[in-house]
Amino acid sequence: MIPIIVASILFFDQLTKFLATKLLPLNAPVSIIDKFFYLTLVRNKGAAFGILKDQVVFFILVTLAAIAIIALSLKGKDKPRLYKIALGFMLAGAIGNLIDRVFFGYVIDFLDFRVWPVFNIADSFVTIGAVIFGYFTLFKKQ
């Protein structure tokens, strides 16, 4: 089940990034819901909020380490299904952004709510997975 989730998220992430690069002008917002939601193609050469700009090799190495840790964490059979789904979300998001960094040297972002930095589908799934993972870590008995 987890491989299907990861593959589906990766496909959707890469498809939307491909479409964004083909259909959107670089750094020029396209209003979808005026004053609320825009599509703005940006090339993020840093991490969240653009920090540590131009540290591509560092981000690739950190992401590979995170992928290894997540993959090892998925091995246990005694983990709840939602816990594994959370890890699958984070894994897919990490791989999606890793693909960008390896092939382009930056991450393709395009979802723009104006109150938050521009992000992408992979970022969304990393965040959702991290929230679910945090819930299990903090509130569920082992």
Active site residue ranges: 109, 123
Task: Specify whether the CB–CB gap between 90 and 49 falls below 8 A.
Answer: no
Measured in residues, the chain has a length of 142
Residue matched to tokens 């969240």: 48
Interaxial angle between packed helices 121-139 and 81-104, expressed in degrees from 0 to 180 and rounded to the nearest 10? 150
Tell me the chain's radius of gyration from C-alpha atoms: 16
Six-digit token string for 127: 């965040």
* DSSP, res 49: G
Tell me the C-alpha distance between 40 and 6, whole Å. 25
The backbone region for 25, taken as left when phi is positive above 0, alpha when psi lies in -120 to 50, beta otherwise, is: beta
